[in-house]
Chains A and B, each alone.
Chain A
């Protein structure tokens, strides 16, 4: 960047502008670690072990999905005498108790129906009810915590269990895929997102030796690990999975992601459903960040949660909305301080974004080709039309200049200074402005024309911006000390899962 454009404090603004690219660069680094999973994995210490496994399923009004889930569990490639399913019915008001009783009769000794007459306290309390009963005797050697709607592929538990042969491993998680078919635009966005957030990010975390979160729908613990956790799941937050994951590693045990153990889950098919789910997750992450505030960026011999790299990954995701706001605000400020400097900073920011977008998207689609065939359009459109337009402009500016010139000539339209200024400022402010714009999609969804308008808005502003808006909303909720409410994601049982 030419020094003639910038003076004094302008450099600080440039640095703040570049903060906008930091989460994408960190994500690219995490994707690069995926390549290292070839060398740093846990397969050399695996063995064909089949610990006596209790499957713990918390259920509240899951009649539509629970029968299929239990049937799939009972057909796992796993010794039947080493498998028990404990269904904890959290005072369901639908047909769940009847379905559970029928399955208990169908699989005597393998399915146990536990009923809580007074429920509604949340998933962690429901899990603890079952956990207390399971731990009463010595039968259980490993515990699989899952959700009522999750469907396990036949070999998945076996592939997870093989990691428990390693004495250092305390818990194993699987690769959860979105299973709605044909699904809609939202489930496909989530399907693609799960390639990046699970298949890629968790492989990277395997390489790093620090795992952020065991998937709530597929976490296999050793008995010793559960006892070390106090024999119960944390109930003080909305992110009990993450607390369990952190505490397992702080206790000196490893958490492993097994990418070849596949389980399928039905994810929200609407923005409102997604918003509820992600707000809960994001609030949970705020709580984890606060709870472990003395952990971050403090390397420790016993675990890797305090490593700088893991801290960067965690905070880039956690603070992404802040980075976007700071970047946009600084770019707009720089525009008034140094027009040319702002233009250069804008180009560098967006060329960085373009490079990371190309790398992450292309590699993500190659990591899981079957899911990619179903979700590639959403993968390409993840940043939204506006951001993609900016990316394309910064990659090939002469092409866009020629197109604009031809368009203006053909229409005899000549934009005046005010229009150009407005356009430039709009583009500079867009990373921050895209978040409230994404909220429009949520507002529009239940209204008239919402079915058409809402997806359109998401495609324009980007699914990524929608997630950032959720994260920002979680800050606000936590700052306000809003009530911790367990909003259950509605399930319909419309999954088509490969046999």
Chain B
């Protein structure tokens, strides 16, 4: 923790947690789920790219070295 944070005692956020004209909680939850789903999609895409790369390296080693 940095020096400025050592003095804080409540441990709460720096801003009000006050939902001003808040959108329904279900909408907020849905947006978070969408974001997490997108990140999971990126994980799968990375795996696919790595798999294709591995196949290309094997083919290169076997046939084009």
A residues near B (Cβ < 8 Å) are 31-32, 34-38, 41, 43, 46-52, 77, 79, 81-82, 141-142, 155, 159, 161-162, 164-167, 169-170, 203, 222-225, 227-228, 250-253, 259-260, 302-303, 355, 358-359, 362-363, 366-367, 395-399
Contact = CB atoms under 8 A, between A and B. Distances in A.
Contacts of B20: 50, 79, 81-82
B61 to A, nearest CB: 10
Interface residues of B, number: 43
Interface of B: 1-5, 8, 11-23, 25, 28, 31-32, 34-36, 38-40, 42-43, 45-47, 49-50, 52-53, 56-57, 60, 64-65
Contacts of A398: 64
A303 B3 CA distance: 12
Contacts, number: 131
A127 to B, nearest CB: 20
Contacts of B22: 48, 50
Given A35-B46, A49-B16, A260-B31, 6 more contacts: A37-B43, A41-B36, A48-B25, A142-B15, A167-B13, A358-B56
A166 B17 CA distance: 10
B35 A260 contact: yes
A366 B49 contact: yes
B45 A43 contact: no
B39 to A, nearest CB: 4
B17 A35 contact: no
A259 B35 CA distance: 9
B32 A141 contact: no
A77 to B, nearest CB: 8
Q: In this complex, which of A32, A227, A303, A396 has the most chain B Cβ atoms within 10 angstroms of its Cβ?
A: A396
A466 B6 CA distance: 45
A161 B1 CA distance: 22
Given A35-B46, A43-B32, A358-B53, A251 B13 contact: no
A43 B2 CA distance: 24
